[in-house]
Amino acid sequence: MSDSNRLSAAEAVPRLHSGALTAEQLTRDCLDRIEARASVKAWIHLDPEHALAQAREADKAGRPGLLAGLPIGVKDVIDTYDMPTEHGSPIYRSNRPFADAACVAQVRMAGGTILGKTVTTEFANRFPGATVHPMNPAHTPGGSSQGSAAGVADFQVPVGFGTQTGGSTIRPAAFCGVVGYKPSLGEFSRVGIKLQCQNLDTLGLICRSLDDIPLLRAALIGMPHRKIDRGAGAPRIAVCRTPQWDVAGATTHALIERTAGKLSAAGAKVGEVEFAAPFRDIAQTHQRVFYYEAAHNYAYEHLEHRDQVSQVLLDTVLDPGAAIPLADYIEALETAEAFRAHLDDIFRDVDLLLTPSAPGEAPEGLASTGSSAFNATWTLSWCPCVTLPVGSGPKGLPLGVQLVGQRFADERTLDAAAWVEARLG
């Protein structure tokens, strides 16, 4: 029996190009795994025959393009013309977009195939979908890109699209023990993705190898595939506990301290930074931008389908957001830009910031997807972020460390992250 579904994207693509592996075989192995592990509930729409038809077409054409028939899971807030896009909401049940989102079209242009649509929370916000943690179904897989994270971690698909407005790519990837990447805002097109917050929403990647990221980046940006430079020297690293440090548990505190010590011993220059006094409440700035923009961008749903919007979303985001004055929103935008300039100053002397990916391992229970306390600030910053799996917590579930780079220096950030990964083992 083949187990090609366990290959990372970077491992699978060369085999697809050479013919050592067919797109149909890889897709079949993924579908078999999905059927065997249906209890994870990672998929909201899956048509096996349609997935296989795409794979056969790729094989018939000789598996051309950068992705050569690689199957990808697409979060269900991202439009697909040939599959429903329901946004995790009954309002959009059976909704069929007339066109692909730009990122989906770019995957197809690069020779990739779309395996299916992965579960999301309601409008990529707070109200959970059905997905459970692949290692322990009593625990959340995180949100809102929960289906993509669980599917990738459970070997159901090599890579999945996520989105992040607060922490919805980095946190579920960390909870599920895989690699997550949130690029600098604007690097990946958001056309065809359900817009929640124009100053925050970011398309992200969830995968099993750091080497998968530049492969998918190349397809999404339309540039040659630049592999990670693993010969780069030791980066300058600063531990950034952030003002949310006390939200994390003792296990995460120890993980960050232990990681910093290990990287210092391996030759990195490791120091510490903290936000300047005007930005100690930057998490509240993110919240104000988030609530204001979401309340306005969901005006249709709020007005015409209020009875089909979860009470959680109404009470915690839409109603409070609608009450925020324009002047307060503008002030938040100005504070956010000043914060980005503050980070630019920090990055003159630092290559990476080391910070938690999440407060700890995935919490028990499915009513919440966990806290984005260690992600929201970095989403507001527009900086690239990577989470790497590093060990496990007291309940045996994965832990991750987050590496933050300078905005629009994504390739340099990935090179430095590779140095860190190699030293952490």
144 catalytically annotated:
yes
Alpha carbon 46 to chain centroid, angstroms = 21
- The whole-angstrom separation of Cα 118 and Cα 412 is 30
Tokens encoding 250: 């003792």
Q: How far is CA 9 from CA 32, 207, 208, 257, 278, in A?
A: 18, 8, 8, 32, 42
Q: For the purposes of burial, counting CB atoms within 10 Å of the CB of 105, is it exposed (0-12), middle (13-18) or buried (19 or more)?
A: middle
264 catalytically annotated:
no
- Exactly one of 148, 168, 357, 372 is catalytic; name it: 168
- Exactly one of 41, 75, 117, 182 is catalytic; name it: 75
Residue with tokens 């409440």: 281
DSSP 139: B
39 catalytically annotated:
no
Instruction: Tell me the residue ranges of DSSP E strands in 51-166.
Output: 71-75, 113-118, 159-164
- Exactly one of 4, 8, 89, 144 is catalytic; name it: 144
β-bridge pairing 113-118 and 71-75: parallel
Tokens encoding 90: 């009954």
Spatial contact of 100 and 79, defined as CB atoms under 8 Å apart: yes
Task: Cite the active site residues.
Answer: 75, 144, 168
